[in-house]
């Protein structure tokens, strides 16, 4: 299995070796799109996708995602980054340049419920989630056999309120050793400390099993049942130090009715959770998200 996945990734890297992406945030003013387009033209790059958004054309914030093909990009990376700085300085941009063939490395954290983990690994196996997944970390051993069937190392680190600092120290050490770019909390039922969150700022994606801002915290389906809701949902968001208050990436809902018990809500909710988390992870992996305050712009 792992050999087939590696072959797919190698083919993808070969096909995208000349492809780059730029994410831009700055104050809106005339000439931004023209300047970026001219820069890429001057560097023999062809724009293949471009999206932009302004909160207000008069003094608002401007956001842009642009994808391009540039012949010989592998040998021109440093030059592109160096030359773009002049435009970025002129427009006072916050910007990131990504090279598509450099696959991001994701670590998945999970506890006892495995439905989100399974969905992520199946998407990874079939080539629709093009990233490297060097390891899965869990505070329980339930996922060990399933994860290792994909050829992925599984690390069991018991974590609780009593040993949280020690557990996170081990986790962070592993993330550093494996050169992890972002973390996915696939129903990992532990609260992260500020130290952990700051180590991966805007690079920790969580799935919360309710349609935020409703039912923040633990047991949201039980509280939804008690409230008699007619819709249940799931929310994927970036993790901050405020519990379930981070910038929302994606949400979805499913209709329920008075016949559904709490367990029915949970069963239906898992369906929504899986799809919402996968979409959020893919968008992050494809450099489609720009965080603006406590909101996101998703291209």
Q: Which two tokens stand for residue 167?
A: 């557990």
206 in helix, strand or coil? strand
What does the angle CA 264 – CA 242 – CA 180 come to, to the nearest 5 degrees? 85
In DSSP terms, 296 is beta-bridged to: 291
For residue 180 the two structure tokens come to 């992890």
Half-sphere exposure of 232 (CA within 13 A, CB side): 29
Phi/psi zone of residue 97: left (φ > 0), alpha (ψ -120 to 50 degrees), beta?
A: beta
Which of 273-295 are b and which e, b meaning 16 or more Cβ less than 10 Å from the residue's Cβ? bbebbbbbbbbbbbbbbbeeeee
3-state secondary structure (DSSP) of residue 294: coil
User: Which of the following is catalytic: 244, 252, 260, 264?
Assistant: 244
Does the annotation count 222 as an active-site position? no
State how far the Cα of 125 lies from the Cα of 127, in Å rounded to an integer.
Answer: 5
Residues labelled as active-site residues: 244
């Amino acid at each position: 299995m792992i050999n087939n996945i590696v072959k797919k990734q190698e083919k993808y890297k070969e096909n995208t070796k000349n492809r780059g992406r730029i994410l831009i945030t700055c104050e809106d003013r005339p000439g931004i799109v023209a300047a970026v387009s001219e820069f890429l033209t001057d560097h023999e790059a062809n724009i293949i996708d471009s999206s932009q958004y302004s909160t207000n054309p008069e003094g608002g914030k401007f956001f842009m995602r642009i994808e391009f093909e540039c012949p010989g990009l592998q040998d021109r990376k440093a030059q592109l980054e160096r030359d773009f700085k002049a435009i970025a300085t002129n427009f006072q941009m916050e910007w990131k340049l990504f090279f598509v063939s450099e696959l991001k490395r994701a670590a998945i954290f999970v506890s006892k419920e495995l439905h989100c983990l399974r969905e992520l690994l199946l998407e990874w196996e079939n080539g629709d989630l093009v990233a490297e997944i060097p390891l899965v970390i869990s505070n329980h051993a339930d996922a060990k056999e399933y994860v290792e069937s994909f050829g992925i190392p599984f690390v069991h680190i018991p974590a609780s309120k009593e040993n949280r600092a020690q557990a996170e120290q081990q986790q962070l050490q592993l993330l550093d050793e494996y050169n992890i770019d972002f973390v996915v909390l696939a129903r990992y039922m532990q609260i992260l400390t500020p130290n952990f969150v700051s180590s991966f700022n805007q690079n920790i994606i969580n799935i919360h099993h309710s349609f935020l801002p409703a039912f923040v915290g633990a047991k949201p389906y039980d509280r939804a049942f008690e409230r008699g809701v007619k819709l249940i949902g799931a929310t994927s968001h970036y993790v901050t130090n405020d519990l379930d208050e981070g910038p929302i990436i994606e949400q979805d809902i499913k209709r329920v009715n008075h016949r559904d018990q709490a367990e029915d809500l949970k069963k239906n909710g898992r369906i929504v959770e899986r799809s919402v988390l996968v979409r959020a992870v893919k968008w992050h992996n494809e450099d489609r998200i720009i965080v603006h305050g406590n909101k996101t712009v998703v291209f």
